Amino acid sequence: MRQRNVEDDAFMHFSPQKIWDGVRKVRYNKTIVMCRGLIEDWLTWQMARDESHFSIFCAVLEALSPYPNYPLVPGKPVRIPDAERDVREIPTLKFPYRTVPIILCSAGIKRIVALAYLLVWAWHEHVVNSELIHEKPQHSIVLLIDEMEAHLHPSWQRSIVPAILKVVQALSAKMSTQVIIATHSPLVLASVEPLFDEDQDSLFHLYLDYTNNSVQLDNLPFVKRGRADQWLTSEVFGLTDTQT
């Protein structure tokens, strides 16, 4: 019989599909639900009498929305035609043109909704499990995001990082947050200009040095450049001009 490894439960690895459908393990012929997934949790929070989790989730969605005048607002769950006859109701988002099941939304929308869910779910689970073991919740979080701009409209790239910082602080007023973001977007860098604090923030340039086939990491001074094209011709991106 395989001995249970405590480290098995120390980390959870989410594939894109597991974010939506949940994480389950079979242990000693028993199915252990590690995470119910975005679809099931969204419906549970929405239908529960205690609306605290759903209210927080809605607030996070609104904060991460691409346009202030058109926030991401959940609608009523719906059944959709499915060749595999999936019997679940699917959460929806309201748009000016119609209400759309979340699984049929654009890649950018789904990526931000998944981020909103993981932020709310992870913090909620930490608080609940802290109560179960009679410990005080931690008030620090490290958030690492690769390719922050992926699938996002340029205007969304200008607002997403400030929105994430606002959301993390909203989860807990006492939260201490370290955010590490990798990006190829000058718009993302321009968006943090009003927020950058030299006493606690850093800008790193990660690149491949072809002379010795090594990866280099340089700590660069953060210079406010104002426009995205100025960032493109800076040492961060290294373009000689923005016309070619």
For residue range 120-132, list pLDDT tens digits in order: 888 888 888 888 9
pLDDT band at 6 (very low <50, low <70, confident <90, very high): very low
Q: Which two tokens stand for residue 117?
A: 């869910």
pLDDT band at 83 (very low <50, low <70, confident <90, very high): low
Q: What is the mean pLDDT of residues 64-81?
A: 86
- Does position 244 have pLDDT exceeding 80, yes or no? no
pLDDT band at 99 (very low <50, low <70, confident <90, very high): very high
- Does position 3 have pLDDT exceeding 60, yes or no? no
pLDDT band at 76 (very low <50, low <70, confident <90, very high): very high
**3-12, 13-22, 133-142: the lowest-pLDDT one:** 3-12
Q: Which two tokens stand for residue 69?
A: 């005048």
- Does position 66 have pLDDT exceeding 60, yes or no? yes
pLDDT band at 31 (very low <50, low <70, confident <90, very high): confident
pLDDT at position 78: 92
- Does position 61 have pLDDT exceeding 70, yes or no? yes
pLDDT band at 28 (very low <50, low <70, confident <90, very high): confident
pLDDT at position 151: 81
Which residues have CB under 8 Å from 200's CB, separation 6+?
A: none
pLDDT band at 227 (very low <50, low <70, confident <90, very high): confident
User: What distance lies between CA 198 and its chain's CA centroid?
Assistant: 25
Q: What is the mean pLDDT of residues 85-110?
A: 90
